[in-house]
Amino acid sequence: MKMKKLFQFSVLSSMLILSACSGGGEQAAGEKEGKGGSGGAVKVDIGVVSYISGPGAAYGEAITGGLKLAQKEINAKGEVDINLVIEDSAGKQDQALTAAQKLINSENVTAIIGPTLSTEMNVVGPEADLSGVPIMGTSTTADGIPQIGDYVFRNSIPEALAIPASMKKAVEKYDAKKVAILYGNDDVFTKSGFDTMKKAAEDMGLEVLTIETFQKGQSDYNAQLTKIKGLNPDMILCSALYNEGAVIMDQARKMGIDVPFVGGNGFNSPEVIKIAGDAADGLIVATPWYGEKDDPKVKEFVSNFEKEYGKKPDQFAAQAYDALYIMAEALKNAGEADRDALRDALAEVKDFNGILGNFSFDEEGDVVMDPTVLVIEDGAFKIFE
Amino acid sequence: MLIEQLINGITLGSIYAIVALGFTLVFGVLGIINMAHGEIFMFGAFIGVLVTTSLQLPLWLGFLAAILITAVMGYMLERFALRPLRHKQGVSHLAPLISTIGVSILLENLSHHLFGAGNHPFRASFAEINFQIGSITIYLVQIVIFVISVILMMALSFWLGKTKAGKALRATAENLETASLLGVDTKRIITMTVIIASAMGGIAGILVGMAFNSVTPQMGLSMGLKGLAIIILGGMGNVKGAMAGGLILGLAETFIVVYGDSGYRDAIAFLAIIVILLIRPQGLFGQKIST
């Protein structure tokens, strides 16, 4: 008798829970429609997958910093009301995928910004594309990222565009003929930078004296650099992230190598000067972001960022900042927080005037923008001419 | 070129050797592989950066602070991660290994929060002193690193072989119960050993910071793994073996870059270790265990 009662109760209660669940679902859906219909601000949840803990946590810190600043400003204007749902990828593919799946499965999330690394995007991108969630990388510069699918975008200038631009200018100025290449061979990003460098060097008819490699987190580069020094190159092409790159330059200068370095996008950070000091002089990089630009928009962003976080923004913060503005622009044009409508609106973004410059997407969702070439002189980034 | 590379190799090898000495000391007495050693080494480097670069204090104070703090960390490691597991019934012999891995993860994350994720430069004027011989630049730091590693090795050999405390330590290593019955304060000996090993890790950390101008929370891991490989190569618990093993690995890594492909640097260095161990399973200086 008792057992029967208990059974009845459990059936009843489970039914209750079930109905409560479905009720909640309907409510959420109703709310969603309401967002589009009303004439007020478009309310939207945007997921963020970023490298917040681990060796590259500095990137995630800069990116989320840029996003939060943009969010504050956009929401204050009142046309779009953005809520950021931030997840940590720890720089790992599996964790990035789990985080992205969580966001994709949450129906309130309309679009995703991130993940930080190209390696992560290579697994997250196809998943988001398959589920029809627009995803925009702000720091993924390896080849082939927007080509993953229609829903995959990026606003970070690809290495294939940036590196040849800086190499061409440097070769012209220094009349370089022989180069040595040094790159990190355990990272898709630096590896793809190397491929671009090698191809560009061949296209320009430069003689490649040697190709040396290193691994992430290495601290001693003396063996490779001594070998390069003995070959006497006119220029060193170095595809490295700034943490390793700055140390490489420091050790090279100490050894007496004084030729210019041409770096990829990951090498482009004020941190290089902080870590390497005088040794950073002579580093040439192409960049979408130049903080000293004589543009009121750029100046305002730099001063606001400094006020908020107590340090100068790097390109990762700037790209993230612009990315959210591009999202907001597209959302405004779409008029509703709908994944497909947002994708179509994003694809149509043209001549967006952000802090990075005049920005458009091409038909694949890749960047159309002119990079600025910079050189470090006397401990500061200057325009390279 | 060749001489410069030789100097690079010896510098790297000497650093490996100092790290390995700390490993070998703890292994020799406790029979424990101290996986937290690499992270204590990393903390030593950070203390050096903090004192000399952030606080602008002289270098000797940096050394002193690093030795002091890593020694305290060594004490805590022994007190809280190793001692509670000793002589307990039912504790697996792998338990201390796992608890030191735990400590190493804790320390890496802690340094992440304390010092941040990025690379920290080491700005000591001492690190800039160099001599120019022809086209070769030799830094004083490189010589100091080699000298310190040799001094540490000789001091350790002397201490273990000739002093009373060293004898007590060896007795403890041989058989804990017997040593304790014969009046050796084994608890004190073990604590002292872990403290000395940790302080040596701290010294190595500061030297690496000065030589390569690069200090990150991740530097402990690869150093720790290489230190482990070296003591296996040199012979577990053998001081001279740690020194020789360190130099062999450092030189091997450097010369693979010179004559081969830098992409295979670690692979070939470790392949060499495997080959040596196939020929001499007890390590270069290890004693054959008769069965």
For residue B9, what is the nearest residue in chain A, using CA coordinates? A223
pLDDT band at A32 (very low <50, low <70, confident <90, very high): very low
Nearest chain A Cα distance for residue B9, angstroms: 8
Residue type for position A364: E
Q: Looking at A136-145, A316-325, B279-288, which range is the least confident one? A: B279-288
Cα A136 from Cα A119, distance rounded (Å): 14
**pLDDT tens digit sequence for A114-166:** 899 988 999 999 999 999 999 999 998 877 899 999 999 999 888 788 888 89
**pLDDT tens digit sequence for B192-233:** 999 999 999 999 999 888 888 888 888 888 888 888 888 888
Q: How many of the other CB atoms lie within 10 Å of CB of B177? A: 10
Q: How many residues comprise chain A?
A: 385
Taking an 8 Å cut-off on Cβ atoms, the answer to whether A251 and B212 are in contact is yes
First and final C-alpha spacing in chain B? 49
Nearest chain A Cα distance for residue B5, angstroms: 6
**Residue recorded with tokens 């107590």:** A310
B113 to A109, A119, A281, B67: CA distances (angstroms): 31, 25, 31, 22
**pLDDT tens digit sequence for B231-251:** 888 887 788 888 999 999 999
Taking an 8 Å cut-off on Cβ atoms, the answer to whether B123 and A250 are in contact is no
**pLDDT tens digit sequence for B143-170:** 999 999 999 999 988 988 889 888 888 8
Of A57, A220, A247, the CB nearest to B119: A247
**pLDDT tens digit sequence for B50-83:** 998 888 888 889 899 999 999 999 999 999 998 8
Question: Strand pairing of A358-361 and A352-353?
Answer: antiparallel
pLDDT of residue B270: 81
- Whether A223 and chain B come into contact, CB under 8 Å, resolves to yes
Of A215, A255, A274, the CB nearest to B137: A255
Of B117, B118, B214, the CB nearest to A219: B214
- Contact (CB, 8 A) for A184 and A216: yes
Q: Which class would CATH give A42-157+294-370? A: alpha beta
CA torsion through residues A276, A278, A284, A285, sign: positive
Cα B69 from Cα B64, distance rounded (Å): 9
Annotation: CATH topology of A160-287: Rossmann fold (3.40.50)
pLDDT of residue B286: 73
For residue A55, what is the nearest residue in chain B, using CA coordinates? B117
**% chain B with pLDDT above 90:** 31
Residues forming a β-bridge with A23: none
Residues forming a β-bridge with A376: A381
- Chain B residues touching chain A at CB-CB below 8 Å: 1, 4-5, 8-9, 11-12, 112, 116-121, 123, 130, 135, 137, 139, 208, 211-214, 216-219, 221-222, 253-254, 257-258, 261-263, 265-266
pLDDT band at A21 (very low <50, low <70, confident <90, very high): very low
pLDDT of residue A204: 92
Name residues whose C-beta falls within 8 Å of residue A44's C-beta, 6 or more positions apart in sequence. Answer: A35, A80, A81, A82, A83, A110, A111, A331, A337
Cα B70 from Cα A162, distance rounded (Å): 45
Cβ-count burial B66-79 (b if 16+ within 10 Å, e if not): bbebbbebbeebbe
Q: Which two tokens stand for residue A21?
A: 């669940």
Mean pLDDT of A186-191: 83
Q: How many of the other CB atoms lie within 10 Å of CB of A12? A: 10
pLDDT at A5 over 60: no
pLDDT at A333 over 70: yes
Domain boundaries, chain B: 2-116+134-279
- Contact (CB, 8 A) for A194 and A240: no
Q: At what angle do helices B239-259 and B219-234 cross, to 10 degrees?
A: 110
Pairs from A91-97 (Cβ < 8 Å, separation ≥ 24): A91/A51, A91/A54, A91/A55, A91/A56, A91/A116, A91/A117, A91/A120, A92/A54, A92/A120, A93/A119, A93/A120, A93/A122, A93/A123, A96/A49, A96/A120, A96/A123, A96/A124, A97/A123, A97/A124, A97/A127
Cβ-count burial A304-329 (b if 16+ within 10 Å, e if not): bbeeebeeebbbbbbbbbbbbbbbbb
**pLDDT tens digit sequence for B76-104:** 999 999 888 887 788 888 888 899 999 99
- Give the residue from A351, A333, A322, A352 showing the smallest Cα distance to A44: A333
pLDDT band at B106 (very low <50, low <70, confident <90, very high): very high
